[in-house]
């Protein structure tokens, strides 16, 4: 009766990567949402989203490398490995006849989406991209920590800001020797009360190139952005203005919602499902025209 399944697919390096699969009813007749988590796995909130959406859509939650308890923790094998893993997942879903794929990202997961959006294989096989409380790039002047003396945000993840900035600068000059340096501690969803130490290489693999942020208007694939007006990480008004200045794709400000409730509250889940339904109907009409 639509219980969650733990499934696997084989990546190009022959690793068997896991994902959670939520669905109720005939899976192949519904759209499929691939949900990419943020800097923490946030499984509690994403599972709520999946449980509420599973009647209308299949929901797939990949367990990303670096977070998975049975693989290398806190690091990747090479910079950009997420791009390859997500492309492999997309191809795998096509092979098992799960069509009508929509990508949904939360927070830093939206950076992953922008990165795979530029992959030709993914763009051809995908029907739309949804950005929830997006953290696209640290250079965007829309984030609350940039102009705040409040240490609360830093304490959540214990960001080693100076080290991160230094490593990012070195990365721009192609200095790679510090890629494995651990620059961030986050709550570990798979080991209660533990912290997971993330490497610079993992973090940089979740951030798109700056120039990609100015090319959203070129996307022929439907895009949708939604954020709560009480988001703790991002100034929602500034982000909305930034979005409007770069694309005509729709966005929505949800009153009374914060960084995590944007993905778990039922009203927000149905905003996403309604957008998918509308986007799919438009695409179907275009395809069916003589």
**Ramachandran region, residue 39 (left: φ > 0; alpha: ψ -120 to 50; beta: rest):** alpha
Nearest Cα neighbor of 43 from 190, 158, 157 is: 190
Q: Calculate the dihedral angle through the C-alpha atoms of 268, 159, 181, 172, rounding to the nearest 10 degrees.
A: 80
- Distance between CA atoms of 87 and 73, rounded to whole angstroms? 21
**Is residue 51 classed as helix, strand or coil in its secondary structure?**
helix
d(CA 30, CA 121): 21
81-132, pLDDT tens digit by residue? Answer: 999 999 999 999 999 999 899 999 999 999 999 999 999 999 999 999 999 9
Helix (H) or strand (E) holding 168: helix 161-172
Strand-pair partners of 19: 7, 62
Name the pTM for this structure: 0.90
Q: Is the pLDDT of residue 18 over 70?
A: yes
Tell me what pLDDT residue 158 has: 36
Round to whole Å and give the CA distance between 282 and 201. 39
Residue among 210, 206, 135 nearest 172 (CA): 210
Average pLDDT over the chain, rounded to an integer: 87
The pLDDT score that the predictor gives to residue 174 is 62
pLDDT at 188: 92
Which tokens go with 150? 């409040």
> Rounded distance, CA 65 to CA 201, Å?
12
Would you call 174 helix, strand, or coil by DSSP? coil
Both tokens assigned to 256: 């009374």
The domain 5-144+208-288 is placed in CATH, from the list 3.30.70.1350, 3.40.50.1820, 3.40.50.12780, 3.40.50.410, at 3.40.50.1820
| Spatial separation of the C-alpha atoms in residues 100 and 32, rounded to whole Å | 6
Query: Which pLDDT does position 156 carry in this prediction?
Result: 45
pLDDT of amino acid 161: 44
Evaluate whether 201 touches 79 at the Cβ level (below 8 Å).
yes
User: pLDDT tens, 178-202?
Assistant: 667 777 888 899 988 899 999 988 9
Cite the beta strand spans of the chain per DSSP E. 5-10, 16-22, 32-36, 58-62, 101-106, 126-132, 182-187, 195-199, 223-228, 251-254
Tokens matching residue 43: 């499984």
Beta strand pairing call for 32-36 and 58-62: parallel
The whole-number pLDDT of residue 280 equals: 84
Give the pLDDT score at 151. 55
Q: Give the pLDDT of residue 148.
A: 52
State the average pLDDT over residues 165-169.
57
């Amino acid at each position: 009766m639509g219980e969650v399944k733990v499934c696997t697919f084989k990546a190009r390096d022959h690793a068997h990567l896991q994902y959670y699969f939520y669905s109720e009813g005939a899976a192949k007749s519904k759209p499929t949402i691939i949900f990419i988590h943020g800097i923490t796995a946030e499984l509690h909130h994403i599972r709520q989203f999946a449980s509420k959406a599973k009647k209308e859509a299949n929901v797939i939650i990949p367990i990303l490398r670096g977070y998975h308890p049975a693989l290398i923790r806190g690091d990747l094998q090479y910079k950009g490995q997420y791009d390859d893993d997500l492309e492999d997942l997309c191809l795998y879903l096509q092979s098992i006849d799960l069509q009508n794929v929509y990508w949904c990202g939360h927070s830093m997961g939206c950076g992953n989406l922008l990165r795979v959006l530029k992959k030709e294989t993914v763009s051809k096989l995908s029907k739309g991209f949804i950005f929830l409380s997006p953290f696209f790039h640290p250079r965007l002047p829309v984030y609350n920590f940039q102009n705040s003396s409040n240490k609360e945000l830093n304490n959540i993840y214990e960001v080693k800001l100076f080290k991160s900035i230094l490593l990012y600068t070195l990365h721009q000059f192609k200095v790679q020797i510090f890629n494995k340096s651990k620059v961030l501690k986050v709550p570990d969803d798979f080991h209660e009360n533990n912290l997971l130490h993330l490497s610079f290489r993992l973090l940089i693999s979740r951030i798109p190139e700056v120039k990609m942020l100015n090319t959203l208007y070129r996307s022929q694939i439907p895009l949708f952005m939604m954020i709560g007006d009480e988001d703790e990480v991002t100034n929602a008004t500034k982000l909305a203005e930034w979005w409007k200045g770069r694309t005509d794709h729709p966005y929505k400000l949800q009153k009374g919602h914060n960084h995590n409730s944007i993905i778990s509250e039922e009203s927000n889940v149905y905003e996403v499902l309604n957008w998918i339904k509308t986007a799919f109907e438009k695409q179907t009409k275009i395809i069916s025209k003589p």
